[in-house]
Copies of this chain bind each other. A is one copy, B any other.
C-alpha cells in the first residue's frame, strides 16, 4: 500500500479532513511528506488513528494520547499505566452498572415517585459518588447531529 492523501485517510478512518489536520497540528499524527501542498500519509496512520478514539473513550485527553506515542510511532505505555487505567475504568464501570440497575429498576418500580423508591435512591448515592478520580461525561445522545447550522450570527463574544 502506498501513500494516501488526506481524502483517502478521511474515508478510511471515517474522520473528516479537518479533524485529521487538527490531529496533525496537535502532534497526534504526522504526514510523511507533501506532494505540492498536499499532505501524504503513510498507511500506518490508520493504525495510529485507531488508537485515538479508544484512548479518548478510556478517558484521556488528546494531549495525553499524544504523549502515549513513542517517536517511532509505537505505543509507549507502561504496565503500571495500563493497570491504573484499567482500574479507573473498572471503577467507572461499576458506578455505571449501579446506575443502569437503578434505572432499570425505576422503569418497573411501583413506587409513586422515583424518589420514593429506595433502590433508585441507592443508585443516586452511588452515582453521586463521582468525586475521587473519575468524574466525567459520557457524551449524550447525538440528538441534533449536525443538521441545520445557523449560517452566521453577528459577532460572538467571549473567546480567545
With both beta carbons as reference points, the residue of chain B lying nearest to A135 in the complex is identified as B139
Closest to A126 in B: B54
Please tell me if the beta carbons of A104 and B127 are within 8 angstroms of each other in the complex: no
Copies of this chain in its oligomeric complex: 2
Q: Which residue of B lies closest to A14 (CB)?
A: B156
Looking at chain A, what size class is its interface with the partner chain?
35 or more
Assess A136 versus B57: contact at CB under 8 Å? Given A86-B103, A155-B145. Answer: yes
- List 19 A-B pairs, Cβ < 8 Å: A12-B158, A14-B156, A14-B157, A50-B124, A56-B137, A57-B99, A58-B103, A75-B113, A82-B103, A82-B104, A82-B107, A86-B103, A86-B107, A88-B138, A93-B97, A134-B138, A139-B149, A145-B155, A146-B154
